[in-house]
Amino acid sequence: MAERILGVDFGDTRTGLAVSDTLGMLANGIGYVESTWMVKTAQLVAEKAKEYGVTKIVVGLPVNMNGTLGPRAEHAKEFAAMLAENTGLPVEFFDERCSTMAAHQILNLTDTRGKKRKKTVDTLSAQIILQNYLDSHR
């Protein structure tokens, strides 16, 4: 069965989003939602999930480099619980270590700077998280 998956890079201000193709092969960045209130962010992401007809959501889990979970990870878990409640969809976590770093490296290679970089990095991070998730489930 073909399913679309939404990838989420949860952030304090901007939350990056990506969606898979129906074959589960490729992640495509679809932008971000902007809110500093977790409840509102969960509502906005739930709207995107409905708009794209996704059947599952993958949230990046910020794991520390030593493998432990810190306050950021707890924040992401709280957000994911709200998202599951708002959408009724299964929500999984995927280790997002180095996804933002990888996004910055890509933006350096493409010489993306300033405001454009700030607006692109969260979407690209979500795309990297989702692509890594898809690759690990083949």
Structural domains in the chain, CATH included, are: 5-136 (3.30.420.140)
State if pTM tops 0.85. Answer: yes
Q: What residues have CB less than 8 Å from 104, skipping those under 6 apart? A: 121
Q: Which residues of the chain have pLDDT under 50?
A: none
Contact criterion met (CB below 8 Å) for 30 and 102: no
Contact criterion met (CB below 8 Å) for 31 and 43: no
Residue range 64-95, pLDDT digits in tens: 888 888 899 999 999 999 999 999 999 999 99
Contact criterion met (CB below 8 Å) for 86 and 120: no
